[in-house]
Amino acid sequence: MCGRYVVARAIGDLMAAFDVEESYVDELQPSYNVAPTDTVPLILDRSSGEGAPVTRKLVTARWGLVPSWAKDPKGGARLINARMETVTEKPSFRKAASARRGLLVGNGYYEWEKSPDGRKIPTYLHGLDDEVLAFAALFENWPDPSLPNDHPDKWLRTATIITTAAPDALGHIHDRTPLIVPPEMFSDWLDPETTSEVDVRALLDSMPEPHLVPRVVSDMVNSVRNNGPELIQPAD
């Protein structure tokens, strides 16, 4: 986990659910099979400039984190997840953990349970009331060295989902699960003033266990070419 997830919410719904004050997203097409390197909605708390107040913003990022020091963005597809246990220590993630935390939002995510006969059973996991989920995320801004500073594509924003050990109720499906931030902790997690490793680790360790509902779905989700609401329907 997590290699595929679902984002099928309107921009207005996301702004209301997360108290977003500024949206920089013009259009958001529903995706029932989000895959690495796809462009996804990201929520963050940031100031728009020196002396300006911090506001909550809805932006987009490419899924798969590219550290700012990377020579090129090719490795981002491998960094779609960051382990909670080591996220404040690993060179690829520690700076983002202290200074660039965000929320990647989704209706739910997919996992593949390995059966005794070796088959992989696709399972869709979602909230109890199908509420939108907030995956704890880190983001980075990578400068393309081949472009001038004033080029509109100079900066590439990328993101990764933090994962943790799956609770007992879900461990039989997969041993890892996204770290899900509850609404009452949105502001704490997004606060750009929280930068010390001790405080970030305290935030990570205080996240409650998520309550998710698993649903076995069709193996159509195995192919990224398939993308529609039928992917989250119960398997026949």
Q: Is 226 exposed, middle or buried (0-12, 13-18, 19+ CB in 10 A)?
A: middle
Q: Which amino acid is residue 215, in one-letter code?
A: R
Query: 74 phi and psi, to 5 degrees?
Result: -65, -30
Residue with tokens 């059966």: 115
Under a CB-based contact definition with an 8 Å cutoff, are residues 107 and 8 in contact?
Answer: yes
List the catalytic residues. Answer: 2, 111
Separation in Å, CA 166 to CA 2, 20, 108, 140: 12, 29, 15, 26
Tell me the C-alpha distance between 20 and 58, whole Å: 7
E-state strands within 29-154: 31-34, 39-47, 54-63, 81-83, 101-106, 108-114, 120-127, 133-143
DSSP 234: B
Which of 40, 68, 44 minimizes the C-alpha distance to 191? Answer: 44
For the chain, report the end-to-end CA distance as a whole number of angstroms: 24
Tell me the C-alpha distance between 218 and 208, whole Å: 30
